[in-house]
Structure 1
């Protein structure tokens, strides 16, 4: 039997008064044949998403987890589901049974407009709960919805990102996805989130992204300002026109800012070829170049501006 949850999620109204039921869920519409977990060591989540334009409903069905680490096999497994960036109140689902591949039978319905859904990211956080109620974070799936709603209800497996217990860099870290299309001559960038930011004022935070060729800034784009918090979710998408012959002489500069006059700079990051970057920043750029059409996502530490 499905757990049915509704959320009214559009630009801003997330108060309880803004929620309303949208009907009855028929379990038969969401039943699927058992799906075996894929081989390997990574913990993975099996789920499906479907967007119904006529009713402006996003349907999220949780099916099962695969390859849970052995230390969690005897615990209760919970998931918390959010639709970012606006949704701060998680919906919970509890796995049916324990072991390495616990199953779910839960469907969540989000009421969200066709414009907002393309700017949203599905967040599924997996928790393991011991008998004394102590919780352990197993990992998280962040699933940007733009470009993923074409095949209604298709079943997907996604690796969980492990919750990193290591210390953030001094100024904080940022998670970025890069993808280059040689045929379209397009560099696609998603600034996903930040963690451990050292905020200086009780103001919001934004990111400015600049494409640079040699010493010339070709184009700059700036995200909207999010509420001031140390671990903001941006999911800020942008694209730049970039010819293949310029890949070895171009770079991306990211600046985390707090709005002020002038803006307060919290930290910077440069991704690019050997001319501009070293270490993980260089490797991220080269992985993007060597795997065209494939998004490459990594965390990077922020640096002080020079």
Structure 2
């Protein structure tokens, strides 16, 4: 009888334990919750080495966070990863340049740990900025794709006004990249250098490539205008060269520019095909069809590689900086 009572009490304890576990939704499975086998066919994924294009309409996104530390007056940007990078950039190195606009001329750079559609960074970049100025600034994040030969392509950018974003310090942000404008008008290679002591801006129009249907009946030239705000203060034009898809100019020109005007000035390049002067027309009044336009300058005028070229020119004093740029349509 005693053995029967012991068995009954043990069975009641087990039933009570089962009820408690069922009520609490316990993760303890043991002998009371049989576990089935997984159907692996339902969970087959894409091999890691297979490149799959992103769904149509989905933009490349940047994952990062910003935090302002008042004690040290530092803006800390934690750069985490990119997502949904376009397939044509998967095999290239991914580089990110950060600037604190409007006054920061020295960019912070971060290089992705690997290639592929979702490159990771895990970098912390620090800007020293006062608490009075930080809320008036805009964080510019430019994403570049670098080929093996060093040629850079602008993937896109994020512009983040800090006013209102610093209230939730350290919050992870996902922002769509604004894609850089793709052009089909061709490219032009330009070299820039600046000497603050001589107050001289040196420009070399080197060559062009892939020009869109240049007329073979006329030559091609490059016209460069130095503008301050909306006014062209000086305009120079290269010699005519043979009209072809990949013409070479190698034409050097210089402009007088004071250091205090670097943030207000820009260079406007026009690839032109001057028509032959007709009867009653002088050479200066003959029409000049424009094959493409390029503007290099500070944040007031340019973005992407055009802005970067101007900033690199300022940071590398008296050192020529060469870069290819896509031509855009004249406005």
Per the normalisation by structure 2, the TM-score is: 0.42
**As a proportion of its length, which structure holds more helix?**
2
**As a proportion of its length, which structure holds more strand?**
1
Larger radius of gyration: 2
